[in-house]
Amino acid sequence: MAEVHPSAVVDERAKIAHDVRIGPYAVVGEGVELACGVEVGAHAVLTGRTAIGSRTRIHPGCAIGGEPQIRGAREGAALAIGEDNEIREFAVIHAGSPPGGCTRIGDGNYLMNHVHVAHDCRIGSHCVLASYTALAGHARIDDHAVTGAFTGVHQWSRIGESAFTAANTMVSMDVPPFTRAAGDRARLVGLNALGLSRRGIGADAVAALRHAYHLLFQSKLRLATALERVRRECGAVPEVERLLRFITESERGSVR
């Protein structure tokens, strides 16, 4: 049977697994679904069409599933949060914009205190968003990315797989996979060697990424020429292929 503190307010229409734990003064609305092992801390507020996956922990004071901050919105569309996430104190995650929008967060992420995730954002899996990271609407964070404290991400911008942003970075263009970015506005400052090491990316792949990084971002080659050289010289390496695809598919343009 779910463990619900007597002071918590849980709508009878909410769907709650048998072993969910809900702390003092928490609020769980009618459209909320909590899977096995979810923990909801004191004073957290969960509303809207919000589904939260198994073993995700929501710390005190979070506001999850509220309506998007857009003019005319009276309710949100949907919010889907995966399994094994840690959402720390006072984080705010908004539902997608109506009609039909959905904010999505994958598995195994760590969102630190006061993180803000706006409507229709996409966060992959195994990401770390440090304190006060703020994602504007439709921003996208790919798997294994890390954002430093006070990182700001512009609407529709994307931070690629295993990319890293330093504290106070302002992201207005796309940050390519496997890179490090810093500054206002963000500029590339190198390959994310530490992130690659922590993921267990092999030495050959790292060497290929270093060569690709040099050609794409440090040489004086025109971008089209650099892309062609990278494809020819190391494009068969899966990580390099993903880097190339990210750059060529970018709609906002990539940070350099």
| pLDDT tens readout for residues 159-202 | 999 999 999 999 999 999 999 999 999 999 999 999 999 999 99
What lies within 8 Å, CB to CB, of 221 at 6+ separation is 215, 229
The answer to whether residue 137 is catalytic is: yes
Greatest C-alpha distance within the chain: 66
The answer to whether residue 142 is catalytic is: no
Q: How far apart are the first and last CA of the chain?
A: 53
> CA–CA separation, 22 vs 8, rounded Å?
7
Nearest Cα to 136, choosing from 192, 94, 193, 196? Answer: 94
Residue numbers of the domain that contains 235: 196-249
Number of domains present in the structure of the chain: 2
What confidence tier does 211 reach under pLDDT thresholds 50, 70, 90?
very high
| Entry field: residues in the chain | 256
Q: Write down the catalytic residue from 41, 96, 137, 195.
A: 137
> CA–CA separation, 195 vs 213, rounded Å?
15
Q: What is the mean pLDDT of the chain?
A: 97
**Above 90 in pLDDT, residue 146?**
yes
Q: Write down the catalytic residue from 119, 138, 144, 154.
A: 119
Domain boundary among 89, 120, 138: 138
Place of tokens 């439709």: 138
Residues 129 and 7 in one domain: yes
> CA–CA separation, 120 vs 37, rounded Å?
26
The answer to whether residue 119 is catalytic is: yes
Assess if residue 73 is contained within a domain.
yes
Q: Write down the catalytic residue from 61, 106, 114, 120.
A: 120
Residues 34 and 123 in one domain: yes
